[in-house]
Structure 1
């Protein structure tokens, strides 16, 4: 089982992305390097949110807790869901 984390942009979130992208990307690399973040990226054109695939709920919650995008109002809503992948 994997865990999906969905970020939905705050109404004014996209405008704040450039100021916090470096810190967010560093966090992505850290968690990916630890092997607990399998993939992540924005969705929509222009982006309306992002999706991350984690190996555990604890890792997803840890990521979100101190992510610059969460701390600086870029994300309006975060949800975390268990996912039983159909193809592995």
Structure 2
């Protein structure tokens, strides 16, 4: 089982992204290097949110607690869901 985390952007979120993007990407890379973040990225055009796939719920919660996008309220709401990957071996 894996864990999905959905971010929904705040109304003024896109305007804040450039200032906090480098620190957000550094956090993404740190969790990816640790092997607990499998993939992540925005959705929508223009973006309205983002989706991340983690190996555990604990890793997703740890990521969000220190994510600059959460800390600086670029994200209005986040949801964490368990996911049974249908094509996993």
Per the shorter chain, which TM-score range? over 0.9
2:56 corresponds to: 56
Residues 9-68 of structure 1: CA deviation (Å, up to 9, x unaligned): 001001000000000000000000000000000000000000000000000000000100
Q: CA deviation at 1:73?
A: 1.0
Gaps of 5+ in 1: none
Structure-2 separation of matches of 1:39 and 1:26: 14
**Aligned length, in residue pairs:** 88
Structure-1 separation of matches of 2:43 and 2:7: 10
C-alpha RMSD of matched pairs (Å): 0.3
Instruction: Find runs of 4+ consecutive structure 1 residues off by over 3 angstroms.
Output: none
Gaps of 5+ in 2: none
Q: TM-score, normalised by structure 2?
A: 0.98
